[in-house]
Amino acid sequence: MTEKVKKAAQILKIVFRCLLIHKLRSTLSILGVVCGVMAVLSMISIGEGAKQKVIEQLGTKNIYIKTIPLTEDQKLNARERLSKGLTFKDL
């Protein structure tokens, strides 16, 4: 177990040394990651806000579903579009 801890400590020393040597590159990398995370969170927030705004405008109590019987033309059109599959007449 102590060997793993020593190895982890050695790796951390190397990491911090590299960060100190390459300050500008490290700073720009960290800045890029932070900006990327902020952009993703902003887009999620905008999407959720827009969704809530649409729900507020429509209202959850204002949606009604009503059945309306089809006219004869609509029934005929629906029958023409609906395929009943192959029959013996098709052979």
pLDDT in tens, 5-46: 999 999 999 988 988 899 999 899 999 999 999 999 999 999
C-alpha neighbours within 13 Å on the C-beta side of residue 34? 6
Please give the structure tokens belonging to residue 37: 């995370």
Percent of the chain with pLDDT over 70: 87
The reported pTM is 0.48
Give me the phi and psi of 31, to 5 degrees please: -65, -40
Please give the structure tokens belonging to residue 66: 């009503």
